[in-house]
Each structure stands twice: as structure tokens, then as C-alpha cells.
Chain A
Amino acid sequence: MMLPPPALQVENLHAGYGGAKILRGVSFELAAGEVLVLLGRNGAGKSTTIKALMGLLRPTAGRVRLAGQDIAGAEPHRIARAGLGWVPEERRVFPDLTVAENLEVGRRPARAGLAPWTPERLFALFPNLAGLRARPGARISGGEQQMVAIARTLMGNPRVLLLDEPGEGLAPVIVDLMVEAILALKREGATVLLAEQSLAFAARVADRAAILETGRIVWEGAIDALLADTGARARHLQV
């Protein structure tokens, strides 16, 4: 039996801001239906990797293949159409649009072979949002904004979901809800790349982990292996 091609394939990705090189050859693969977490301290390049994949920062070298199609260096809207869905760390919900309108902005045609997301399905995934349809984005709580940001991106029926620190700045109970949501998405077969500071959060949702340090991947493997490897954790994550 032939293995299906990886959902996302990143090879030797280089990127930076101005003169500062942040990524110095990042490579990893993400299989369909898998949740991979990028771990690492501040400035290690987690967010930069996500931005470079999304085309918000132009990679200086390297290849990014999404379901076989090379998207490195393309413009963000083309990358989004090709099937990368980005949920930014700052959430960036449109403050003056209602929750329902926020979702509409994200709407893109369905993708062959994937059940299309609809507002109804998303309100089932995030029951908290169902009662807030007509509420402007600025007038919902931080946790609810995070849910809207994820739902809005899912409306574009992405092949791969990029989640940048979805638990950041949220109350522990809301973090629990995020974990539930990601696990639910996983059951639906979603492919997720997660950037995260918190190993505890990662441990609850991820299948595999990759640790970034000064712009390179220095450790990669199953999340359970990382949890068991106290040496690697102390070396790379100081925990």
C-alpha cells in the first residue's frame, strides 16, 4: 500500500526580519489528520514559522508543499485559498462585525473530499458562540474571541489549520474549552499545526512535537516520548 503524501511538507525554511535571521533551515512534515506542536521559548521562531508558512513573511529560502503544491513565497490570499488556515495569536477578530459576519468573511468554497464547514456546524463545535451571533466582535470575551477566530478560519475549509498559541492569556477554564475543541476537530479528521509555549497544553492535544531552538528543529518525536524524556525537556524547554 502506498502512503498518502503528507498534508504539509516544510523543507529547509529560512526567514527573518530585515537583517535578523530567525529561521535557519526548518524542516518537518505533517501527516493528514495529525496534530503537531511546535514548542520552544520566546524568539525561537515558532510564530515566525507560522507567519512564513502563511506568506505574511517572505521566506528567503526553502520549500513548503501543501498537499503536493508548492506555496513558499506566494501571497497570503493565495496560500489561504490553497488550504492553509491561520488563527493568529492575537485572534484579530473584526471588532465592528458581528460574530456571524466574522464567520462570513472567512467563507470559501468547499474542498473536494472534505465536509464543508457551515455556521451551524461551527456553533455546534463552539456552543458558547451560538447565542452571540449578533454581538459585535469587540463585545465578547477573550475566550469567545479565540473561538470566533478559529471558527472564522474553519469557514475557509482549510486542509491544514495553523493555531498560534490558542491558550495564551485565557483563563484556565477557557483553556479547557480550547483543548476540548481541538480534540473535537481532531476527531473530525482535521490536520493541525500548533505553536505553543506551554508543554502542559501541548500534552493534552498533540500527537507529535517538534522543538525549535534558534531557528532550527532540535528535537522531534511523539509527544509521549517528550514527556518521558526529562533530559530533552530540561535541555530545550527548561521544564
Chain B
Amino acid sequence: MDLIFLQLLTGLAGASTLFLVAAGLTVIFGVTRVVNFSHGSLYMLGAFIAWSILSRLPREPEYFVLGVLGAALATAVIGALLEVLLLRRIYRAPELLQLLATFGMVLVVQDVALWIWGPVDLSLSRPRWLRGAVEVFGLRFPFYDLVLIVVGPVVLGLLLLLFHRTRWGLLVRAATQDRDMVAALGVDQRVLFTSVFALGAGLAGLGGALALPQGSANLHMDLSVIAEAFVVVVVGGMGSLTGAFLAALLIGVLQAFGIALVPKITLVLVFLVMAAVLVVRPHGLLGKPQAMARGEVEALAPIRPAGPALHVLGLVALVLAILAPFFAGPYLLSVLTEAAVAVLFAASLHVMMGPGGMASFGHAAWFGVGAYAAAFAAKGLGAGMAAGLLLAPFAAGALALLVGAFVVRMSGVYLAMLTLAFAQIAWAVAFQWVEVTGGDNGVLGVWPDAWAADKPTLYWLALLLCVGGALVLRRALFAPFGFALRATRDSALRAEAVGLDAYRLRWVAFGLAGAGAGLSGAVFAYAKGSVFPTYMAIPHSVDALVMVLLGGVQTMAGPIVGAVSFTVLHSWLLMGEFWRIKLGLLIMALVLAFPAGIAGAASAAWERWRGRAP
């Protein structure tokens, strides 16, 4: 009984910091419609800055309060700067590119933090008053946890007052519903957006600073907190502060009990609860259906099959690829093998993202499941490569269908967040379930059969399976299935009215995408001879997104072009120290320069040129 009570209080304390982060995320999303991936980075910065301030201040309570507020304020200022420098330029971009640009920011902040604070976890030696305990119902309970439990509702109350009792709050709520109309009524959107972003960033910074005494400031806290914050925001209902508060309580308590009772499957439990909530309430606990934000009318150019010129070009490239082992050295060949894997990885994501209209931020999950399936076939079953290559797409596809069964009910950013949360959970399972996955050490010795062991054969196999797979997917997109899928994306209402089953079409596309990624993961596993949890990590999911967007979502050749150029770029430019900052800046530059992707920009240029030719 006592243990349960203590665990409950611990859960409530954790819920408070989670709420602060989620509240900032949801407020920023409400007004700017940007899902701010870098919100976790602001939380991390809040913790680091708090460490820098607090470790220099006297250790009395009043200085602690001042230091925490100072860190929150500093984070708010940083947030405002980020808004002015980056976000302001991308409000009109498609929401996916916005997500991607803010992920670029995540990478940049990681390297900047590494540069300033170094790689070591920084913890605060806690003063005595912070370590004290209070008697609650005859139980000794950590004082600081009680402080945190009080902070959550107090901040919620202050925010509700701010939004419902001030003119600024009224304008923010109005802008949440129709920002262009607010501007047309004479309100300067820029001031509103920057101030909202600063508020959200400040809340994240406050959360980070308050979390510091219980843990440490480290370079991993950004991605781990953002996944949790996404879950909280989705469960609570996008844009609802009270919903975020309830969801944070639910998730916080669940995690506290999960860790005490069933530590291994805590994260799975979180995902299941989220699934249950969303099945009953598709828009979250207190959420409302999200209308398309005004001013985001997306003009879709019709997708045309490749013309003869492109066919010839593609054929030449394919022949060159097949002949590559005769002129390429071993290093280039291994880069080309990776490129082949990337082609299927990106093409499978494109199926759901382009024609399916479902952007996944967790596509690496299926890649990883495929890789682990191959590893399991090799090490667990002792089976040959053929078995592994067969098992992988089925395992990944089946799991994708299972998860997709409720994920595809969502759309837009909800779906992106859910897929991200699921991938994060899959990653955590691979990381924690050491007995099966080897944890961080991975599974080694996943080698191909003897006949395919030499580099050229392995390369040809990768080419056959991956490029072949990508071409099969492409074919399906021009077949009735692809038309029907695009129809559901263009207008689900109309698609249902002509007799299409939108849900099942999206679901099958999701499963197909999972199976394709699974196969590419298995090929990669055999090519590398090993499987690690990082295959499923968020950055790998983002790689897939970058490839698709690099190529252009609305062109069918896009993912292929994107995958090859990204792999080459990666092995060429993005090696060594501070690769994150380079990749981050590259992503941001791409989003700012080519909102339609490289292939999209190229085809637009081609159309212009052809239009001018006599």
C-alpha cells in the first residue's frame, strides 16, 4: 500500500515536468501549426543553462528559484531567436517540411550543446533543503517531488488565466482557429507568433530546469522527452492545455507504476494506453477534430508517368548500376550497396507519404524490425539467408498492419507523431531487451550465405531485391491500387462516395510500406553482418524522410533520386566530428531552398524549359 502511494506521488511529480514540455508544444502548434521537433532541444537547453547558472549560485532556496526562472527566461529568448531566424520563413511551407526543418534544428542544437557543455552528463549536487522529505500520511516523501506536483497545476492555472482573461490570450486563441483572419482584422501576426513561441520555449526550458535536480543535463534528453511529449499532446488532444495536463498525469503515473511493476514493458504499456485512448477518442481526451488550418491550400500537380527521356535516363542508370562491380572499388561498392538499400527504404516510405498522404516519422521501426528478423533467423533459428530475407518483410509488414490498424485512422501531424512514438518504443525495446537483442551491443555475425558472401554478388543481390522492390512498388502506384490510394488522399469524402474503402486502402499502404522497409532492413543486416538498435532510432527515420523530400514527394522517381543522392552525400560530407550540425544545416537549407525537393525542382525546370522550346 505504502509503496503504491509513493509510486503514485513519484508519477505525479514526473507528470509535472512532462506537462510543462507538452504545454509548450501544444501552445506553439496551436498558433503556428508547426509541430516543433526541436521542442525537446529547448527542454535540454533549459537543463544545461540551469546547470550553468545553479552551479555558480549560492545554494539557498531563493537562489534556486531565481536560477530556474533565469534558465526558463533564457530559453524563451533562444526560442524567440529561433522563431525569428528560421521558423518565420517556413510558416507557409508544407507541414512536413516544417517538421523536418525543426529536426534540422535538433541536430544543430545537439552539436552546439556538445561544443559548449561537452559530452559528460552534468548533474547538480543537491543542497540539503532539496534532499529533505516531508511526512505525508505517515510516509516520508521527497520534498522536491511535492514541489513539482504543485508546479504543474499552478502553471496550468496561470496559462488558462493568460489565455482566457487577457487580450493577448484572446488573440492567440483566435489565431489558433484562423490566423489569416486575425491578421486581416489588424493584428500583427509576427509579434503574436514570436511571443507564443517564446512562451512555449520558456515552458520547455522551465521543465528542463526543474527536471535537473532529479537527474542530469545530458545530450539524449531532447529526443527522449520529445517522443513522450508527442504522446502526451496526442493523448490529451492537440491544442488542449487541460487535455495535455490530464494526459501527462496519465502517462506519468503509468510510467511510475510500470517501472515499479513491469520495468521491461513500460514503454509498450504507454503505447497501448495511447492506442486505447485514441480508439475511443480519435482526437484525444479533450481534443476536437482539427480543421485544416486556413491558408494552407495545397496545390497538387498531377502525377505523370515518366516520359521517354526519363525512361532512357533510368535505363542507363540501371545498366551502369548493374555493371558497377566491374569498375568500382570495394569502398564505392559498399556505398552503392547502401544506396540500393536506401532506395527501397525511401521508396517504401514514399508509398505511404506521397500517394498515401501519411507522413511517417518512424519509418526506421520497420527497417529495424526487418533487420532484427534477419538476425533472429540467422542466430535464433540458424536458418539461411533466404529464410531471413523472407521472414523480414513478413514480420515488418505484419507488425506494420497491427500498428497501422489504428494509426491510419489519424492524419497529418497526429500520424507523424504516433509513428514517431511507436518507433521510439520499438527502439527502446531493442535497447532494453538485452537477452534477445543484445541491447546496445547489437547482434553480430549476421552473415550472408557462402554463395553471396563476396562483395559484388552481395551488391547484385541488394540491387535485385531493393531496386526491384522499389520498381514493383512504383508499378502498384500506377495500377488501380495507386489511383485509389491517391483518391483517398485527395478527398477521402469523395473517395468514399464513389465506393472506395479509404481506411483499408490506407491500412494496406501502411503495411506495404512496412514490408518494403523490412526487406531493405534485412538486406542491410546481411550487408553489414550486424544489427543495432540505432537502425530504429529517430535519426534513421529522419534519414528516410530527408531522402523522400530531397527527391520530392510528388514525383514517383523522387525517392530513388533522393536515396542515391543522400547516401552519396552522407558518405562524402557527413563524416567525422560535428556531422550533426552539417546535416542539420543541410536539411534547413534544403527546406528553405527546395520546398518541392530536388526531383520536383528539376521537373519544374524541365517543364519550364520545354514550355519555352518551340
Asked if A and B touch directly (CB within 8 angstroms), the answer is yes
Residue A152 interfacial (CB < 8 Å) = yes
* Contact, CB under 8 Å: A92 / B186: no
Task: Give Cα A76 to B187, complex, Å.
Answer: 9
**Contact residues, A140-160 vs B (CB, 8 A):** 152-153, 156
Distance of A11 from chain B, by nearest CB (Å): 23
**Contact residues, B112-168 vs A (CB, 8 A):** 167
Distance of A147 from chain B, by nearest CB (Å): 16
The closest CB in chain B to the CB of A153 belongs to: B185
* Contact, CB under 8 Å: A105 / B184: no
Residue A88 interfacial (CB < 8 Å) = yes
* Contact, CB under 8 Å: B174 / A97: yes
Interface residues as binary, B187-217 with A (CB distance below 8 Å gives 1, 0 otherwise): 1110000000000000000000000000000
Task: Give Cα A92 to B178, complex, Å.
Answer: 8
Residues from chain A with Cβ under 8 Å of B181 in the complex: 88, 92, 94
Task: Give Cα A92 to B181, complex, Å.
Answer: 7
**Contact residues, A59-106 vs B (CB, 8 A):** 75-77, 80-81, 86, 88, 92, 94-97, 101-102, 104-106
* Contact, CB under 8 Å: B180 / A56: yes
Of the residues B171, B180, B188, B189, contact of A105 by C-beta under 8 Å: B171
Of the residues A56, A77, A97, A156, contact of B173 by C-beta under 8 Å: A97
Task: Give Cα A49 to B167, complex, Å.
Answer: 32
Residues from chain A with Cβ under 8 Å of B294 in the complex: 92
Interface residues as binary, A15-27 with B (CB distance below 8 Å gives 1, 0 otherwise): 0001000000000
* Contact, CB under 8 Å: B187 / A77: yes
Interface residues as binary, A97-119 with B (CB distance below 8 Å gives 1, 0 otherwise): 10001101110100000000000
A56 and B184 in contact, given A92-B294, A96-B173, A96-B177 (Cβ under 8 angstroms): yes
Residue B436 interfacial (CB < 8 Å) = no
Residue A54 interfacial (CB < 8 Å) = yes
Task: Give Cα A81 to B186, complex, Å.
Answer: 5
The closest CB in chain A to the CB of B164 belongs to: A101
Distance of B294 from chain A, by nearest CB (Å): 7
Task: Give Cα A113 to B167, complex, Å.
Answer: 26
How many chain A residues touch B (Cβ–Cβ < 8 Å)?
A: 24
Interface residues as binary, B287-329 with A (CB distance below 8 Å gives 1, 0 otherwise): 0100100100001000000000000000000000000000000
Residues from chain B with Cβ under 8 Å of A106 in the complex: 185-186
Task: Give Cα A153 to B186, complex, Å.
Answer: 10
Distance of B239 from chain A, by nearest CB (Å): 10
Residues from chain B with Cβ under 8 Å of A18 in the complex: 299
* Contact, CB under 8 Å: B183 / A156: no
Residues from chain B with Cβ under 8 Å of A101 in the complex: 170, 173-174
Task: Give Cα A67 to B173, complex, Å.
Answer: 32
* Contact, CB under 8 Å: A97 / B177: yes
* Contact, CB under 8 Å: B174 / A77: no
* Contact, CB under 8 Å: A105 / B185: yes
Residues from chain B with Cβ under 8 Å of A94 in the complex: 173-174, 177-178, 181
Distance of A115 from chain B, by nearest CB (Å): 19
Residues from chain B with Cβ under 8 Å of A76 in the complex: 180, 183-184
Task: Give Cα A232 to B395, complex, Å.
Answer: 72
Residue B182 interfacial (CB < 8 Å) = yes
Interface residues as binary, B351-392 with A (CB distance below 8 Å gives 1, 0 otherwise): 000000000000000000000000000000000000000000
The closest CB in chain A to the CB of B294 belongs to: A92
* Contact, CB under 8 Å: A54 / B184: yes
Distance of B290 from chain A, by nearest CB (Å): 12
A152 and B185 in contact, given A104-B167, A104-B170 (Cβ under 8 angstroms): yes
Distance of A221 from chain B, by nearest CB (Å): 30
Residues from chain B with Cβ under 8 Å of A86 in the complex: 184
The closest CB in chain A to the CB of B186 belongs to: A80
Residues from chain B with Cβ under 8 Å of A92 in the complex: 178, 181, 294
* Contact, CB under 8 Å: B177 / A77: no
**Contact residues, B205-262 vs A (CB, 8 A):** none
* Contact, CB under 8 Å: A77 / B170: no
Which of the listed residues A76, A92, A152 has the most CB atoms from chain B within 10 Å of its own CB? A76
Distance of B558 from chain A, by nearest CB (Å): 21
* Contact, CB under 8 Å: B189 / A77: yes
Which of the listed residues B178, B180, B181, B186 has the most CB atoms from chain A within 10 Å of its own CB? B186
Residues from chain A with Cβ under 8 Å of B184 in the complex: 54, 56, 76-77, 80, 86, 88
Residues from chain B with Cβ under 8 Å of A54 in the complex: 184
The closest CB in chain B to the CB of A55 belongs to: B184
Residues from chain A with Cβ under 8 Å of B178 in the complex: 92, 94
A77 and B186 in contact, given A97-B173, A105-B174 (Cβ under 8 angstroms): yes
Task: Give Cα A75 to B182, complex, Å.
Answer: 12
The closest CB in chain B to the CB of A105 belongs to: B174
The closest CB in chain A to the CB of B178 belongs to: A92
The closest CB in chain B to the CB of A86 belongs to: B184
Distance of B33 from chain A, by nearest CB (Å): 15
A108 and B167 in contact, given A76-B180, A88-B181, A92-B181 (Cβ under 8 angstroms): no
Distance of A121 from chain B, by nearest CB (Å): 18
Task: Give Cα A56 to B185, complex, Å.
Answer: 12
Interface residues as binary, A42-60 with B (CB distance below 8 Å gives 1, 0 otherwise): 0000000000001010000
Distance of B105 from chain A, by nearest CB (Å): 26
Residues from chain A with Cβ under 8 Å of B288 in the complex: 96
Task: Give Cα A104 to B169, complex, Å.
Answer: 12
Which of the listed residues A54, A88, A94, A102 has the most CB atoms from chain B within 10 Å of its own CB? A94
Task: Give Cα A94 to B186, complex, Å.
Answer: 15
Distance of B162 from chain A, by nearest CB (Å): 15
Of the residues B180, B185, B188, contact of A156 by C-beta under 8 Å: B185
Residues from chain A with Cβ under 8 Å of B182 in the complex: 105
The closest CB in chain A to the CB of B192 belongs to: A77
Task: Give Cα A153 to B294, complex, Å.
Answer: 18
Task: Give Cα A121 to B448, complex, Å.
Answer: 82
Distance of B614 from chain A, by nearest CB (Å): 19
The closest CB in chain B to the CB of A106 belongs to: B185
Distance of B257 from chain A, by nearest CB (Å): 35
* Contact, CB under 8 Å: B174 / A80: no
Distance of A84 from chain B, by nearest CB (Å): 9
Task: Give Cα A176 to B182, complex, Å.
Answer: 28
The closest CB in chain B to the CB of A80 belongs to: B186
Task: Give Cα A94 to B188, complex, Å.
Answer: 17
Interface residues as binary, B266-282 with A (CB distance below 8 Å gives 1, 0 otherwise): 00000000000000000
Residues from chain A with Cβ under 8 Å of B176 in the complex: 96
Of the residues B167, B170, B177, B183, contact of A95 by C-beta under 8 Å: B177
* Contact, CB under 8 Å: B183 / A105: no
Residues from chain B with Cβ under 8 Å of A156 in the complex: 185-186
Which of the listed residues A56, A77, A80 has the most CB atoms from chain B within 10 Å of its own CB? A77
Task: Give Cα A102 to B170, complex, Å.
Answer: 9
Interface residues as binary, A147-189 with B (CB distance below 8 Å gives 1, 0 otherwise): 0000011001000000000000000000000000000000000
User: 18 additional contacts, CB 8 Å, given A92-B178, A95-B177?
Assistant: A75-B183, A76-B183, A77-B184, A77-B185, A77-B188, A80-B185, A80-B186, A94-B173, A94-B177, A94-B178, A95-B291, A96-B173, A97-B177, A104-B167, A105-B171, A106-B185, A152-B185, A156-B186
Can you list 28 A-B contacts with CB-CB less than 8 angstroms, sorted by A residue number? Answer: A54-B184, A56-B180, A77-B183, A77-B184, A77-B186, A77-B187, A80-B183, A80-B185, A80-B186, A88-B184, A92-B178, A92-B181, A92-B294, A94-B177, A95-B291, A96-B176, A96-B288, A97-B174, A101-B170, A101-B173, A101-B174, A104-B167, A105-B170, A105-B174, A105-B185, A108-B185, A153-B185, A156-B186
- Give 7 closest A-B pairs by Cβ, nearest first: A80-B186, A105-B174, A92-B181, A94-B177, A76-B183, A81-B186, A77-B183
